[in-house]
Structure 1
Amino acid sequence: MQIKINSYGSKDEEQLMQLLKLCSEDDVLLHIVNSARLKFAYSAIIDDKLVGILASWKSSFHPYCTYFRILGNPLYNSLNIEEQLLSKVKELKPEDFPLQTSAWETSNNLINIYTNNGFKEIRRTYLPTLEVSNLGEYNLNIRNNYQIKTLEEVLSDEMFMEELTLLVKRIYEQTHLVNPVADINLDKWQELILDDVVQNGSYIYVDENENNIMAYAFLHESDKSDSLDLGWVGAIDKEHKQLIPQLVLNQIEYANKHNFHFIMGEFDTTDEYAMEVLNHFPFAPSPTWITFQKSN
């Protein structure tokens, strides 16, 4: 069977949807190939059947690398579809580097292809679910003299919100050094914080004088009606990251009180504040999303 590598077109969309369903993938790739962020996309075709896809794009939030994703039909694994699609990535110019891509840890063949072509793993992202009703009485035994406030309580305090936004920005930048974030203003950062945020379910530790923020944990709406999403977490310094699980416990209590059954997490191994949460609660096991990068 001969594989043809063609530029992706709208005529391929229906077959792409079928491929995503076959591979149990979400529709992120579908959105990318139809977005203004798209750099290029190629289809792998056998006898008019789409058996693979490559899409490359740029991010305005992380603008210093070129992203790409490859997805191949595993039923045609012996035909080296992914390697042929990767050859198109190799045609990129030096100024397009570094290159960044991700794959599920269960995509063993694709991971081997990346590592054999000079890509290095830069982080793992855990995406587990916590069933909040299973916790029962849960005591973290964290003792301190700090106060807990909701985001709603502090939202109208401009100086407080500026301090909070600066702290969120600093921690995010520190935990994404391998793929730096764009230089954006504080208003935009605050928009990111408040996007779909649950104000009464997002908590902040302040010191006894209410002058300094010690830790924070945001909670967000989910696209699933019975779930909420954990958002960014952080602390004023590494010594105070132990405060974060108490804030998350408050979020769990909020979820229970409002009849949500699950809390969804996203934890990067490069983010020790987020990992503090993963290490403190009995999240269900789940596949891991592995991110790779290649410099020129």
Structure 2
Amino acid sequence: MSNNNKQPITKHIEFKYEITPSINPKVETNYLTYIGADVDSPNPNLSLIKKAADDDMESRPISIVLGWMGSTQKLLLKYINLWTSRGFNTFSYRADYFETLAILGLRLKAMHMLKQISTYLKERPNCDTIIFHIFSNGGGFLYWALIEFMLANDEYKFIHPMIKGVVMDSLPTFTNTQLFTGFWSLAKPMGGSLAAYATLPLTAPIWFPFFIFYRKYLTHPKNQFVHTVLYSTDDKLIPGAEVEAFLVRLKQNIRNDLIHVQKWEKSEHVCHLKHHTKDYLNNLNIFLKSIKAEEIRKTLPQSKL
């Protein structure tokens, strides 16, 4: 029997140190799943302040991968592997539909996640670099909550400057009109019953106060780090016009040289890696190069003026 169709098994670095509280899966409030970098992967060394050897696991940058509503571990793992193969340690989470719609519970989880990240960083003082890879509004809602809590809580403010960039895949919903339409669109993946189509749009008004903060923190002027935005005009769940409205606001608040945009004309929601693999990987490489360029810029005398 041929093995040609078998997918290669990604080999992650075994734990060579004690499993500390932040990555112990037995801790009930450790909602973020930890997966370490691949064996023999180089240390990305995105920080110019701290250079480390390839075998210094504790200095590896972190990629926080936040999946779309209803995503599975199998689907998300292919994105996690994009980072572990590049030498990143990863945290990840996938919120289901009902969990995301019950926004207060998700925000409470986000606070626990932030505590987990904070503990991890305090256990590993040589780690000073974080990137995000977020998908659709499901990942966007968690990202928003994490950014909001970092900026609002003295205990977690030290984390925000460690964020070097975010990759945004198929998000966000940005206009009030699309908020209603988006809830109606969710009915099909949630079972497609008549009750779902009738009741989901009625929950949109409950979301309006949160939606204001969602827009605020996705475009917050303190987020002066690299933004790579990937979207398609063919996306039925989050139309390209929504992402373009977001980009207008983002460019008002963030330095434009920190914003990189990839627009496709034919690609389904959160399927850009599948349909445009070469472009997608190239965008990740440009993303990392842009982070390094920004770190170099920060060391120049004129950047402190």
| TM-score relative to the length of structure 1 | 0.27
Give the helix-richer structure, 1 or 2. Answer: 2
TM-score, normalised with respect to structure 2: 0.27
Q: Which has the higher contact order (CA 8 A, sep 6+)?
A: 1
